[in-house]
Amino acid sequence: MLQVSDIDTYYGNIQALWGVSLRIDEAEIVALVGANGAGKTTLLNTVSGLLHPASGRIEFCGKRIDGMAAYAIVQLGMSHIPEGRRLFPDMSTRENLQLGAYPRRLWKHKEKTLEEVYKIFPILKEKESQLARTLSGGEQQMVAIGRGLMSMPRLCIIDEPSSGLAPVVVDEIFQIILRLRNEDIGIFLVEQNVQQTLEIADRAYVLENGRITLGGESKELLQQEVIRKAYLGL
């Protein structure tokens, strides 16, 4: 479904990604792990069109997207739930969610989609008229994920959903991610929480200093010495 081939991404003159290649198949959870500053967010932003690679190509559902604007890529069925949630702080939960269905073709059915999202996150229905900035961290992350689902994506890119959340809430978020995969949504997941992430992911890639250094089945990666040393502290 997503094919990234040999991309280089720069911030001005500084190169942040070096020849990155990876793929994600339908309804698969693929994790991307790496240290702070490795370039994970940069890679996600390049895929979703917020940044553009200087070279290489990105294909999504058979379409070349590496030159497309982010707003146009959303309409192809990719949704990017950004690092730090990035809700619209002065809008209600409900309005934040509605905006996830902004493309015209989705806007018509937004109330129906909203009901579906409330089924996944019943707490959000209770808080639907509360301003986003007054929600708790966990609730905000749920709004961010729910908002990403409002565009009925085939691929969901999620950047560090567990950051700043209590362990119980993190478990809840991971359960929801599993549930999305079972509803045939592909997931591209960036996480600091390596152990838990590799447990739910089908496959994973390791990014170091802007380069993919390792990739494979997550079960196998969990057994590998380098991973256990560097990311699991074993």
Partner 1 sequence: MIVRVLDIGIAGLLLGGIYALIAVGLTLQYGVARVLNIAHGEFIMIGAFITWSLYIIFGINPLLSLAICGPAIFTIGFLLYRTLFRRLRISSASPAAFEGSSMLACFGLLFIIQNLAILIWGADIKGYSYLAFPIRFWGQTFAANRLITLGFALAIGLIFYFFLTWSRLGKAIRAAAQDAAAAELMGINIDQVLALCFGFGALMAGLGGTLLSMSYKIQPTMGLEYTVIALIVIVLGGLGSIPGSFIGGLLLGLVGSIVTYIQPGLSLVAYYLLFMLLLLAKPTGILGK
* Interface residues toward Mg ion, by CB under 5 A: 40-41, 83
d(CA 4, CA 187) in angstroms, rounded, equals: 15
Of 78-137, binders to ligand ATP (CB under 6 A) are 83
182 binding ligand ATP? (CB under 6 A): no
User: By CB under 6 A, is residue 34 in contact with ligand ATP?
Assistant: yes
Tell me the one-letter amino acid at 13. N
Give the Cα separation of 37 and 16 in Å (integer): 9
Q: State how far the Cα of 72 lies from the Cα of 125, in Å rounded to an integer.
A: 29
From 228, 177, 233, select the one nearest 200 (Cα to Cα).
Answer: 177
Query: In angstroms, how far is the first alpha carbon of the chain from the final one?
Result: 34
Number of residues that bind partner 1 (CB under 8 A): 26
How many Å apart are CA 147 and CA 151, to the nearest integer?
8
- Does 158 engage in binding with ligand ATP (CB under 6 A)? no
Minimum distance from residue 38 beta carbon to ligand ATP (Å): 4
Q: Is 10 a binder of partner 1 (CB under 8 A)?
A: no
Among the candidate windows 27-35, 66-74, 192-200, 203-211, which touches partner 1 by CB under 8 A? 66-74
Site residues (CB under 8 A) for partner 1, limited to 33-52: 48, 50
Interface ranges with ligand ATP (CB under 6 A)? 11, 14, 16, 34, 36-42, 83
